[in-house]
Amino acid sequence: MKRLSLPLLAVLVLLSGCASKESSRYSIKQDRGPDQAVDLSKVPDAVPRPEPHSRWGNKSPYQVLGKRYYVLPTAEGYRERGIASWYGKKFHGHTTSNGEIYDMYQMSAAHKSLPLPSFVRVTNLDNNRQVVVRVNDRGPFHDKRLIDLSYAAAYRLGVLQHGTARVEIEAITPGSAADARLLATEKLSPVSSDRAAITGRTLQVAALSNEANAQRLAAQLGAQLEEPAMVVPVERGDRILHRVQLSPLTGRHTLNWLLQQLSQAGYPGAHLVDLP
C-alpha cells in the first residue's frame, strides 16, 4: 500500500484551510440506527486471523464509572452467556478503545474483559442465529450486559427489535485445531470483513468552496491512494460546496489505513457516508 507523498501532503494541508467541518464528536444525544432502512443480511462475518494485541485498550486493570475491570491475558477458551445490546449511529465514525474507527456496518463488538482485538462467535439463544464478530472496543458498562454488538451484528442476530437478547459468546483462537475445524464448517469468506464491509461505499474527505481546488485534490487522492475519486457539488445556503469523495471504494485498503493516511495529510474529519 502506498503512502501519501510529501509534495501531495503539503498541497493537502494547504487546501485543508478551505474545507468546512461538517461533523462533531457525539453530535447525536440518543443512540439509534441509520435514518433509512438498510439491508445488512449479506454483511460478511469477521474473518478470524492472528493479530497482535492492540497498543491501546488493553491496560489492566482499568476503571470506568468508579468500577475496576481486568483484561484477560488471552481469549483462548473463553465462553460465557449473558445479555447482548447494540450501539449505532451515535458512535459511528468515532474512535474505538483500541484506536480504530467504529463502523456500525461492520461485524464488530465491545467487551469489558476480552483482549483487543479478539474474535468471538455470538449465538442468539432465542432464535439460534450466529455471527462471528471482531472485538475492538470496551463496554458495555452496564452490570447486566455482557457484550455490545455493532448495528450490523445486531441486525443479523435479530436483536434490533427488542434492543437486547440472551446470547452465548465463544472465543475463536486462530491457529488452534478446534477453531480450524470450526472455521472450515462455517465457510467464512476469504476476504477480511473490514475490507468487504467498505467495498462500494463512499468516503468523504473534505468540502471545498473552490471547485478547481476540489478537482485537483480529487485527482491527487485518486492517484496516490489508488481509489476512485470524485467531486460532488452541494448547496449550503447561498453558496456551493464541492465535496471531495473517494467512491466507490474498491476494498483494496482497509478503512483504518485510508483514514490514517488522510489524517496525516490534514483531513482527520474524513468519514464514511452512511449507506442509503
Predicted pLDDT at 184:
52
CA-based max dimension of the chain: 63
Predicted pLDDT at 178:
54
CA atoms of 41 and 153, how far apart (whole Å): 9
Predicted pLDDT at 35:
84
Domains of the chain: 6-24+197-272 (3.30.70), 62-189 (2.40.40.10)
CA atoms of 158 and 127, how far apart (whole Å): 8
pLDDT along the chain (276 residues), means of 10: 49 42 59 87 88 94 95 96 95 90 92 97 96 96 93 96 95 71 51 63 89 94 92 89 91 84 86 69
Predicted pLDDT at 185:
52
Predicted pLDDT at 21:
38
Predicted pLDDT at 189:
47
